């Protein structure tokens, strides 16, 4: 079964924020970041079980996987029937446990 991606507004905003931050320092790295986000989402659409479960998620449905080539930026997602819902993209230094309580 093919999953359809659904990027929530918070995740879309996260991606824009980090892309702009990276672009201020290195424009070509920002383009690589955008491509890596797309590639990672495509990989997760094919195999959503790749990510690790978020321990603080009481439902046990939320997983994360770092963006390929950008190990400090995990994508948080969950599978909802035939949809892969992209919840957030955060920097690894953030305390993300509170996001999913």
How far apart, in whole angstroms, are the C-alpha atoms of residue 78 and residue 51?
10
How far apart, in whole angstroms, are the C-alpha atoms of residue 7 and residue 74?
14
pLDDT digits (tens, 9 = 90+) for 21-56: 999 999 999 999 999 999 999 999 999 999 999 887
Domain boundaries, the chain: 4-93
pTM of the shown model: 0.90
Q: Could you tell me which residue, 96 or 9, shows the higher pLDDT?
A: 9
DSSP state of 60: S
Farthest-apart Cα atoms in the chain, separation? 40
Q: Which two tokens stand for residue 33?
A: 């970041």
For 4-93, give the CATH class. alpha beta
Contact indicator for 88, 76 with CB cutoff of 8 Å? yes
pLDDT reading at 1 higher than 60:
no
How far apart are the two ends of the chain, measured CA to CA in Å? 30
């Amino acid at each position: 079964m093919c999953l359809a991606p659904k990027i929530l507004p918070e995740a879309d905003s996260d991606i824009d924020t980090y892309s702009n931050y990276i672009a201020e320092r290195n424009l070509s790295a920002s383009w690589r970041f955008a491509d890596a986000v797309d590639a990672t989402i495509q990989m997760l659409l094919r195999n959503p079980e790749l990510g690790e479960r978020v321990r603080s998620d009481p439902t046990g449905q939320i997983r994360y996987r770092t963006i390929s080539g950008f190990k400090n930026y995990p994508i948080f997602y969950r599978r909802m029937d035939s949809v892969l819902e992209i919840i957030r993209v955060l920097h690894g230094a953030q305390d993300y446990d509170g996001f999913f309580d």
